[in-house]
Copies of this chain bind each other. A is one copy, B any other.
Amino acid sequence: MTIPHVVIIGGGFGGLSAARTLKSAPVRITLVDRTNHHLFQPLLYQVAMAGLSPADIAAPIRSVLHKQKNVTVLLAEAVGVDFVNNTVQLADGQLSYDYLILATGGRTSYFGNDQWEQFAPGLKDLDDAVEIRRRVLLAFEAAEKESNPERRQQLLTFVVVGGGPTGVELAGAIAELSHFVLARDFRNVNPKEARVILLEGGPRILPSFTDDLSDSATKQLNQLGVNVRVNTRVTNIDERGAHLGEQLIQAATVIWGAGVQATAFATKLGVPHDRAGRVTLEPDLTLPNHKNVFAIGDMTSFTHQEGKPLPGVSPVAMQMGRTAARNVLHALKGEPYEQFKYTDKGSMATIGRHAAIAEMGKLHLSGFPAWLAWLFVHLIFLIGFRNRVAALFNWAWSYFTYQRGSRLITGRRLSLLPRRVMRAQVGLEEEPQPNEKSEFSVR
């Protein structure tokens, strides 16, 4: 008798939960991911804002699972599934499975305006975070050399599109970074001149929270100096900034925090999915007509419980992962599948130093208590003891000294900002020499 083979695609919160639930099961597991690390996405914005290092919030999947002897980890890209022959196609080979758990997560969606990506990066992985860190820090460096006040204003204007948790975190963090951290390090520019503008299309930010918490978040953002504009739709983004119909907000840095869709892998599976590419599920988390194939997390749309899809947050993915894994165990024992039921333990969003909101049933917290709760929960769940200690240290360091240790501009791309924007000139001469042809360049 051969040992049943469970293939899990994706090493995020959902995939890891599924693998761990099968720890003592009589199966062999192959976990496939296209990166070598599990990423603690809720803290990704901290990397983008130079508060934490990439290694603080990521752990090699091999390390996370190295004690679980029934798992093989494979660095590979899954490109499709042959449901008839029970085979996963990889970019460089294939894997046959007895049970398949799909957990490929989400990616940034520009709602059909993919040409905006070059001007307004999203925040989904470590490369995104390092790229945003680079753009924000370089904008300050360029402003330090800029003598033209209008161009300097443009360099010091940061637009964040999208008033969900990611946008709110980013906007708050940019405001903090510029007003507290960078303030003392520049000579010619006062980083307090920096403007941070948060744009939200709907009537309020953080719409998944209650009205009172949403209001509180806006107040806390305002206190940090963030300009929050609701009912404001972006019509175009280019090298000059963000367009709101006729109006243009001139900004060298625009960050996209607005939309999430399922990975391209999910969309191309050939199974029913919604407009955001999220596959539709049976109540037991299987794909329709495929009783040995489960899908979990951000790549799915699970509407059976509340009528609307469950939110794309890690608790949903982890609970789904456990249910899918338990259903594999049920199948092995010839038992009927259980249906998925999400238990909402509350949600929180951080805004900045001492600033957050938290909603746990009827308990609504704002400000410092919410921030402490947020910090506690996120440090506890950060996977890997070493990451937890390292992150806590780096955090405490930033907190007490107002320094950011990870303020590194790396990468060899010559210029981060559209060249037309960046025609800067050095303003240090006693009699500045106009030099319109020169271009800012960073190696």
What residues of chain A have their CB less than 8 Å away from a CB belonging to chain B? 2, 30, 34-37, 53-56, 58-60, 62-63, 66, 72-77, 90-96, 126-127, 130, 137-138, 141-142, 144-145, 184-188, 384, 386-387, 389-390, 393-394, 397, 401, 403, 405-412, 424-426, 428-430, 433, 435, 438-443
A-B contact pairs, 15 of them (CB 8 A): A34-B443, A53-B55, A59-B405, A60-B407, A66-B184, A74-B145, A74-B426, A75-B138, A75-B144, A76-B426, A76-B440, A93-B435, A94-B435, A95-B426, A389-B393
Q: Which residues from B are CB-within-8-Å of A63?
A: 185, 403, 407
The count of identical subunits is 2
> What's the Cα separation between A241 and B136 when bound, in Å?
40
A70 nearest in chain B by CB position: B187
Query: Of B55, B74, B91, which contacts A439 at CB under 8 A?
Result: B91
A71 nearest in chain B by CB position: B187
Q: Which residues from B are CB-within-8-Å of A397?
A: 386, 389-390
Shortest 5 CB-CB contacts between residues of A and residues of B: A93-B426, A62-B185, A75-B141, A91-B441, A55-B406
Q: Which residues from B are CB-within-8-Å of A138?
A: 75
A401 nearest in chain B by CB position: B386
Q: Is the CB of A137 within 8 A of B74?
A: no
Q: Which residues from B are CB-within-8-Å of A90?
A: 426, 438
Write the nearest CB–CB distance from A50 to chain B, whole angstroms. Answer: 8
Q: Is the CB of B36 within 8 A of A137?
A: yes
> What's the Cα separation between A386 and B409 when bound, in Å?
18
> What's the Cα separation between A412 and B131 when bound, in Å?
11
Q: Is the CB of B94 within 8 A of A144?
A: no
Q: Is the CB of B386 within 8 A of A390?
A: no
> What's the Cα separation between A92 and B141 when bound, in Å?
13
> What's the Cα separation between A76 and B403 when bound, in Å?
23
Write the nearest CB–CB distance from A15 to chain B, whole angstroms. Answer: 16
Contact A37 to B408, CB < 8 A, known contacts A77-B441, A390-B393, A426-B76: yes
Write the nearest CB–CB distance from A324 to chain B, whole angstroms. Answer: 21
Most chain B C-beta atoms within 10 Å of own C-beta, residue among A59, A73, A127, A407: A407
Q: Which residues from B are CB-within-8-Å of A37?
A: 407-409
> What's the Cα separation between A64 and B73 when bound, in Å?
42
Contact A439 to B92, CB < 8 A, known contacts A36-B409, A410-B130: yes
> What's the Cα separation between A75 and B186 when bound, in Å?
11
Query: Of B186, B389, B410, which contacts A126 at CB under 8 A?
Result: B410
A384 nearest in chain B by CB position: B405
